[in-house]
């Protein structure tokens, strides 16, 4: 009886964790994009450290480049 209860609980936990993981990915992506927007604005106002941080984040997030190029072409001004 105890084993059955433990197995049921662990299965329920696995389902909850599996459902929670995909929902956190877009939240992190939105957080990174908001961070990039802030650094881009600071860079436009002359903050050189913000320019460096902006470039570092862009370089680190290679898998998002295609989407960001479409949504924010001003971030990739050197490629025009």
Select the more confidently predicted residue: 9 or 53: 53
Q: How many domains does the chain have?
A: 1
What is the rounded distance in angstroms from the CA atom of residue 40 to the CA atom of residue 47?
9
Average pLDDT over residues 60-65: 84
**Does pLDDT of 49 surpass 90?**
yes
What is the rounded distance in angstroms from the CA atom of residue 74 to the CA atom of residue 37?
11
Global pTM value: 0.57
The boundaries of the domain holding residue 49 are: 2-79
Return the structure tokens found at 23. 């929902």
Mean model confidence pLDDT for the chain: 74
What is the rounded distance in angstroms from the CA atom of residue 53 to the CA atom of residue 42?
10
Whole-number Cα distances in Å, 37 to 29, 33, 68, 75 = 12, 6, 11, 9
* Structure confidence at residue 30 (pLDDT): 81
């Amino acid at each position: 009886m105890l084993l059955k209860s433990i197995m049921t609980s662990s299965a329920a936990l696995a389902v909850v964790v599996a459902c929670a993981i995909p929902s956190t990915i877009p939240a992190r992506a939105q957080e990174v994009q908001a961070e990039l927007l802030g650094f881009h604005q600071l860079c436009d106002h002359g903050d050189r450290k913000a320019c460096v941080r902006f470039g570092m984040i862009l370089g680190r997030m290679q898998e998002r480049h295609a989407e960001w190029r479409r949504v924010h072409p001003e971030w990739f001004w050197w490629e025009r």
